[in-house]
Structure 1
Amino acid sequence: MSAVQSESTLESKLDTLECHFTWDLRSSRCELLRLKDQMLDFGLEGNVWLGPIYNLQGFIHLQLGLNEEANGFFTKAAEVYAEQDPWRVVTYGNLAWLHHYQDKEKESQHFVEKVDELLKENPPPFQDELHPEVYAEKAWTLMKFNKEKIQLAIDYFQRAIRMQPDHKEWRTSRVLALNYLNNCKENKPDAEVLEEMRHAREEDPDNLFLAAVLLKQRAKNGENVEEEVEELTRRIMENPVNSYNGFEPLLNLHEQVHSVDEAIGLAEEALRKFPEVRYIKKCAARCYKRKILFHKKGRLEQDLIQRALTLHKDLIGLYPESLKIKIDLPVILSKSANGQHEAEQMYQKLLEEDLEPLDKQMLYYCYANYLFFERMDDSRSIHFNIKATKIPEQSLYRDRSIKKLEMFGRRGHRTAKEFLKNLKSREDQHAIDHFQRAISKQPDNKEWRTSRVLALDNLNNSEENKPDTEVLEEMGHARKEDPDNFFFAAVLLTQRAKNGENVEEEVEELTRRIMENLVNSYNGFESLLNLHEQVHSVDEAIGLAEEALRKFPEVRYIKKCAARCYKKKILFHKKGRLEQDLIQRALTLHKDLIDLYPESLKMKIDLALILSKSANGQHEAEQMYQKLLEEDLEPLDKQMLYHYYANYLFFVQKNNSRSIHFNIRAAKIPEQSLYRDRSIKTLEKLARHGNRTAMEFLRNLKSREDQHDFQEIQEEATGWRRSRSPSNWRAVKD
């Protein structure tokens, strides 16, 4: 075998190893440096995750080009376990990759063979599965390295536990991950997760971190936990020197059960006992920051601010890679007497640094908040939120900046509105660019080209009523290359008809071809009906739908398309009375659809709406609406129902006051949605016509949204959720 072949064989074997280098652990250099720094706070003595800690440290050091240090950590990881322990599968894999990166192919091959030997002598307990130890380390690593992969980590822990159910540490880590995931979605603890945490706590009574997190969740749930908090505090305060012992969640717990002052007192007590431990200093600094940022009444004592500043200045030296600590310092400085000028200078210095994109996003977002709250400068705040959003990398801070721009947009800031409108176009363009890159590598893939021009058409439709000439030309070219794509053919003919072309003969031919086999949403049937409605009439589309139903009476997709045609006919009918036979046919179709699509609330609402158009059907329609209003619906479903019921009350019942009432109910639900926006627009229209109820509600709504936005920004700015109302909120000026 030649040297080239040998190297190729080794590389293929390396790719099959289960280790950090094959787990898709990607991160920027700045994130790696921060994680390297944070891992120094991990307690090593008695830590059940000692091997995985050394392995992750080795991986990070190698990614940073620190080869000798990486080798030292991987060697330490191997020494944690016995020779044939399955935990060594990951470590040997890491050592094989380390030597490969160092061009030591012989040593690399040696560790590949050691993995093979270990797996041969100690195979996994189930075929086509990994060792439970490998699943556990993979899960733990994903939890620490990438919070976006928490659900995957939970799944890996579950597989490990299924094979070794007696491993309490794995169950504890899994429920902590579940709790983290639940906290990202809900404010209130999930009952099932809480029950799992209680069970894990009973099995793992010495895990003080879990104990603190569980008590915090129980307190959130309204339980009285003060006595247990006191006992846990005594135990944790005996040795609060690392991030595994539960000191930080204990401070959060004290803040929740008692006050932030209580948490500060506890942090200062720990600092007196362990003045040189940087982890305790970091926890203390966070308590002071929350105290300062959430302070409401009166002026803050300057001594308290000075103490916070001292701690944060110390932390910059202790955590040199942490940009967040450097950003927190000017925020606190701006609260001190005459500190705003120095805070602004610090921000300007940070803005001049050559940062990585994700760091820039964080800095721009935090500086935008500072400008908004401290400098009362809306326009510059919008400018820096826009700068954060313009950086294309997906991140928490980019999402938050978009939220802030949406807030400004709702309050009439044109710059924010215009930017968000263009942003959507750019993100659609981003998808098109991805298709273009794929096509450049595989130019013969006609399906990709078709999908790209459909995306182009969708982008053009969102900006213009009339088709773009260049897009139409591309669509025509793609149609020639992909002649059997009838969905695309129908869309193209619709656009050409919009452009004033006579396409009747082509419509007739396409209709014949589509009608031969129209049993799913990819064959272009719905687009064909829209095309017939545009070129001919809705009656023509109804006839076509009925013909399709006669050929395929059991296909629910066709029934849905037919029902939509009837609904359009009924809702947009203008002159004279509708034939009752037509209404009855629409009702029959919609009743069938409710059985065929049992989860669709929209179809139930449509049925009530059509029923109201039938002879003497209004009473039954009202009963249907009342039944729907009694259901326990999700917030977004409630918004949709209230909005449509308000329309029904306005247009059919001619009851303006009740219509306003239900539009208000839709608008009161805070979730952003199309139906909430429509109800607010309706109320704004009524307010412009002098309706006092609508005017008063919109005024109060703006005040509540101001307060909500203030709280949300404050919570996000500090990374800490608390239910507080601001005293210094101001109206956003246009």
Structure 2
Amino acid sequence: MNQLPYQTASRTFLIQTQSKMSMDYETALRTKLHQLECHFTWALIKDDLDLPSILNRLDEQLKLDVGKKERLAQTYTALAYVKFLQGLQKKSLSNLMTSVKLYKECHEEEFHKALIVTYGNLAWINYHMKNYTECESYLQKVEKINENISSESSSVPEVLGEKGWTFLKFSCKYYERAKECFKKALDLEPEDGEWNAGYAIALYRTEYGKFTIENSPTIKQLRRAIETNPDDDVLKIFLAMKLAIYKRYREAVSLVEEALERSPDHPHVLRYAGKFFRNKRSLDRGIDLLSKALEQSPNSSLIHHQLALCYEMNKIRLLQEGNHHTRSSWVQQIRDQIIYHLEMATTHAPCFIKAMSDLALHYGERREIPRAEEMFQMSFKTAKEKNDNLHVVHFYYAEFQLYGNRCEVLAIKHYMECLKMSPGSPEGQKSARSLRKIAEKRIYKNAQDEEAYGILGFIHKEKGEKSKAIECYEKALSYGDNDEYLTNLCALRQSMQ
């Protein structure tokens, strides 16, 4: 039976009204959700994250924290967010419910402030699953917690701490934000061991520049963190590695040996102790410790990378001793070990740009040129997409062009790109040294090589040494015309007026 016109119009109006009410309801919910303190509101950008690597770290953390319910709860909450990013909403929800259960076992109450982040994540995940009633329920739980505390959620030490640990674990791009979170938590609870440890680690990972052993904020905070966490042997090795930079080897070695004696099977202690001995050029000890760590954490890209670096130092040492036939055979065996560990590192962390670039370079050393080129192009693509470590890829590609392809022109181009992008980084500093070596070699052969002086001018310009840069560009222009050198020279002169 056909509907009358007024019935059709009425039905259309009802549908439109219901749709508008639904949209208004969802908008109201979303407004409340954006006010929460949780992983969904912390500006964790998916393109910044290497999800397989984060999952490996979180899985390892679950094993380390067996019996520590509050830490386990925090890790399950972070794990839930990663699962959500992978599109596994039901698994995400399951991890969050595990987190709630663990928190309640710790605090024996439903509305403890430690649950703010987990309830916030639960509200968000239920919203995405269109479970709006459940979403509202968790929003109300957060509201009830907020009613019982004297400050905003963003100023609760437990929230600041969980936020800080998330930033530390998820991406090196968030280390500065992690530092800010732990500092705020410490301002509220200066004696808390966890916030002191988090702040020390964040400082350790962000401290660059010139300090002395007396005024280094990291060394001071690590000592403070060890005071408040006397059983944390990883902190002792972090302190040891910082002390070694200032040549305080006796105390550094003592701290590492103490940590190894107290925690001989802790994978993080073994990993960082292995790195300490690699830095100290005690390669056999480093390889032994890292191999033990790998037995416990076979999917650790970081351990595989550290082992590759140890073997690479062995390779360099052998090459420096001379290229006899027997040594050549050993070098090839070592190179194969390096490639194996770098391949494993990139398998477990597909966005590990340094490992990818180093692997490409070693393919080139093994004369697998097409494979090396393919890996380098993949490294460039990943670095650009992630906006991360592009200068590192330029450095390794320059090395490949100089030593693998014997193409000095391309090597110069990519060393320059690296230096321009990150002059203070280790790769930037190495690029400057390589460029200087190339320029000086050219000048030795031809004292009127304009490009060589242009290279030196570029190095000085990027280092901020304007007078020396001007001198080099003037010399370059005295031997030939070059618009780029002239432009740089004019800009430098103008900046000094």
> What TM-score comes out, normalization by structure 2 length?
0.71
Which residue, 125, 145, 164 being the options, matches 1:139? Answer: 164
- Cα distance change on mapping 1:13 and 1:680 into 2, 3 Å: same
Residues 331, 343 of structure 1: 8 Å contact kept: no
Aligned to 2:116: 89
- Cα distance change on mapping 1:163 and 1:404 into 2, 3 Å: same
**Structure 1 residue 281: Cα displacement:** 4.5
Aligned to 2:200: 175
Cα distance in 1 for residues equivalent to 2:418 and 2:206: 26
Cα distance in 2 for residues equivalent to 1:92 and 1:115: 7
Q: Deviations over 1:270-306 (max 9, x none)?
A: 55x6595656555433422344367644346233333
Query: Is 1:287–2:310 an aligned residue pair?
Result: yes
- Cα distance change on mapping 1:57 and 1:188 into 2, 3 Å: farther
Q: Deviations over 1:429-454 (max 9, x none)?
A: xxxxxxxxxxxxxxxxxxxxxxxxxx
Aligned to 2:464: 672
Cα distance in 1 for residues equivalent to 2:112 and 2:258: 38
Residues 201, 211 of structure 1: 8 Å contact kept: yes
**Structure 1 residue 114: Cα displacement:** 1.2
Aligned to 1:21: 40
> What TM-score comes out, normalization by structure 1 length?
0.50
**Structure 1 residue 119: Cα displacement:** 1.5
- Cα distance change on mapping 1:127 and 1:109 into 2, 3 Å: closer
Q: Deviations over 1:685-713 (max 9, x none)?
A: 9x99xxxxxxxxxxxxxxxxxxxxxxxxx
Cα distance in 1 for residues equivalent to 2:422 and 2:39: 23
Cα distance in 1 for residues equivalent to 2:297 and 2:425: 37
**Structure 1 residue 319: Cα displacement:** 4.4
- Cα distance change on mapping 1:397 and 1:293 into 2, 3 Å: farther
Which residue, 141, 144, 156 being the options, matches 1:117? Answer: 144
Cα distance in 1 for residues equivalent to 2:224 and 2:418: 43
Query: Is 1:70–2:89 an aligned residue pair?
Result: no
Structure 2 unaligned residues grouped into runs of 5+: 1-19, 105-109, 440-448, 480-497
Cα distance in 2 for residues equivalent to 1:296 and 1:312: 23
Q: After TM superposition, list the pairs within 5 Å mapping 1:406-485 onto structure 2.
A: 411=439
| SS of residue matched to 2:182 | helix
Query: Is 1:185–2:209 an aligned residue pair?
Result: yes
Q: Deviations over 1:207-226 (max 9, x none)?
A: 11111010121222222233
Residues 196, 225 of structure 2: 8 Å contact kept: yes
**Structure 1 residue 322: Cα displacement:** 4.4
Which residue, 48, 59, 66 being the options, matches 1:40? Answer: 59
Q: After TM superposition, list the pairs within 5 Å mapping 1:470-509 onto structure 2.
A: none
- Cα distance change on mapping 1:200 and 1:17 into 2, 3 Å: same
**Structure 1 residue 10: Cα displacement:** 0.8
Q: Supply the AA of the counterpart residue of 1:246.
A: V
Q: Deviations over 1:53-98 (max 9, x none)?
A: 2222222221232222222222232223122221211111111111
- Cα distance change on mapping 1:50 and 1:674 into 2, 3 Å: farther
Bigger RCO of structures 1 and 2 (CA < 8 A, at least 6 apart): 2
Q: After TM superposition, list the pairs within 5 Å mapping 1:172-251 onto structure 2.
A: 172-182=197-207, 184-186=208-210, 190-223=215-248, 224-225=250-251, 226-236=253-263, 238-241=264-267, 245-251=268-274
Residues 54, 77 of structure 1: 8 Å contact kept: yes
Q: Supply the AA of the counterpart residue of 1:180.
A: R
- Cα distance change on mapping 1:276 and 1:151 into 2, 3 Å: closer
Query: Is 1:378–2:408 an aligned residue pair?
Result: yes
Which residue, 173, 179, 195 being the options, matches 1:154? Answer: 179
- Cα distance change on mapping 1:101 and 1:250 into 2, 3 Å: same
Residues 52, 77 of structure 1: 8 Å contact kept: yes
- Cα distance change on mapping 1:352 and 1:158 into 2, 3 Å: closer
CA RMSD of aligned residues (A): 4.3
Residues 292, 332 of structure 1: 8 Å contact kept: no
- Cα distance change on mapping 1:54 and 1:274 into 2, 3 Å: closer
- Cα distance change on mapping 1:216 and 1:400 into 2, 3 Å: closer
Cα distance in 1 for residues equivalent to 2:463 and 2:410: 27
| SS of residue matched to 2:260 | helix
Cα distance in 1 for residues equivalent to 2:422 and 2:26: 38
The structure number with the bigger radius of gyration is 1
Cα distance in 2 for residues equivalent to 1:347 and 1:188: 42
Cα distance in 1 for residues equivalent to 2:378 and 2:462: 38
Cα distance in 1 for residues equivalent to 2:297 and 2:52: 25
Q: Supply the AA of the counterpart residue of 1:298.
A: G
Q: Deviations over 1:389-441 (max 9, x none)?
A: 99xxx9999996899599859958969989x99xxxxxxxxxxxxxxxxxxxx
Higher mean C-alpha deviation, range 316-325 or range 108-117: 316-325
Matched-pair identity in %: 20
- Cα distance change on mapping 1:153 and 1:352 into 2, 3 Å: closer
Cα distance in 1 for residues equivalent to 2:254 and 2:353: 39
Residues 158, 174 of structure 1: 8 Å contact kept: yes
Query: Is 1:2–2:24 an aligned residue pair?
Result: no
Residues 419, 462 of structure 2: 8 Å contact kept: no
Residues 289, 332 of structure 1: 8 Å contact kept: no
Structure 1 unaligned residues grouped into runs of 5+: 422-666, 689-734
Residues 188, 220 of structure 1: 8 Å contact kept: no
- Cα distance change on mapping 1:175 and 1:227 into 2, 3 Å: closer
Aligned to 2:7: none
Q: Deviations over 1:459-506 (max 9, x none)?
A: xxxxxxxxxxxxxxxxxxxxxxxxxxxxxxxxxxxxxxxxxxxxxxxx
**Structure 1 residue 109: Cα displacement:** 1.4
Higher mean C-alpha deviation, range 296-305 or range 349-358: 349-358
**Structure 1 residue 354: Cα displacement:** 10
Q: After TM superposition, list the pairs within 5 Å mapping 1:475-554 onto structure 2.
A: none
- Cα distance change on mapping 1:349 and 1:305 into 2, 3 Å: closer
Residues 254, 260 of structure 1: 8 Å contact kept: yes
- Cα distance change on mapping 1:359 and 1:172 into 2, 3 Å: closer
Residues 422, 428 of structure 2: 8 Å contact kept: no
Residues 308, 338 of structure 2: 8 Å contact kept: yes
Aligned to 1:79: 101
**Structure 1 residue 365: Cα displacement:** 5.0
- Cα distance change on mapping 1:274 and 1:138 into 2, 3 Å: closer
Higher mean C-alpha deviation, range 200-209 or range 285-294: 285-294
Q: Supply the AA of the counterpart residue of 2:181.
A: Y
- Cα distance change on mapping 1:72 and 1:389 into 2, 3 Å: farther
Cα distance in 2 for residues equivalent to 1:97 and 1:200: 35
